[in-house]
Amino acid sequence: MVAKGLKVLGLMMVLGTAGTAAAQEGPQGRVKVFLKGGLGDYTGDIGESVKMGPTWGLTLNVQPLRFLGFEVGYEGGRNTIGTDELDLALTRHGGSALVKLGLPVLEAVKPFVGVGIGISRISVGGDLLQRGDYVSDTVKELPLVAGIEFNTGSLTAGARATYRPFLDQNIREQVEDPSGGYFDFAITLGARF
């Protein structure tokens, strides 16, 4: 009985020591939550008449390994249509999930790339509703992201560019086969846990 107790105590000490060493070796802040804001624009046929506008978002990032991360997030944007006579705008609300790969060399400065899947609701607003040129639509996207993160203590900041090619494209009724997607550049600021 005493021998069994000593074995359990020894196992607990080994696991405790290994857990402490693993915690020191792993990246600080395996979970990040950050806000992002920037500018975005449509590309292809849709982008010919749409102006650049503000984008925003909220993202949760989980970093199980130094070089591998997973993100889920909300993104929004508002773009006006290029005309002075009418009040025309497309408002975008969507979500995406990404797999990120980063250089595992430095935790403080980390360039990364990522790919994922997303879905957005693009709503028509203003005088577009009366004209019928555009219709609100839900589109599937393939987010492709590249950026850099700066991490120190419990803070994280960064910059990223994201291109989201549309996998289905029915935003404009009058164009039979529009091409393009949505491109944005954003600054990020958040916390690491």
The 10s digit of each residue's pLDDT in 62-114 is 999 989 999 999 999 999 987 666 678 899 999 999 999 999 888 899 999 99
- The answer to whether 30 touches 62, Cβ cutoff 8 Å, is yes
Question: pLDDT exceeding 90 applies to what percent of the chain?
Answer: 54
Task: Name every residue whose Cβ is closer than 8 Å to that of residue 57 and which is 6 or more positions away in sequence.
Answer: 35, 36, 37, 73, 74, 75, 76, 186
| Mean pLDDT (whole number) for 177-182 | 72
Q: CA-CA distances (angstroms) from residue 193 to 39, 52, 100, 111, 188?
A: 28, 34, 18, 20, 16
Could you tell me the domains of the chain?
Answer: 29-172+181-192 (2.40.160.20)
Whole-angstrom distance, CA of residue 119 vs CA of residue 138: 7
pLDDT-derived band at 20, boundaries 50, 70, 90: very low
Whole-angstrom distance, CA of residue 111 vs CA of residue 5: 49
Q: CA-CA distances (angstroms) from residue 38 to 52, 123, 139, 185?
A: 10, 20, 21, 6
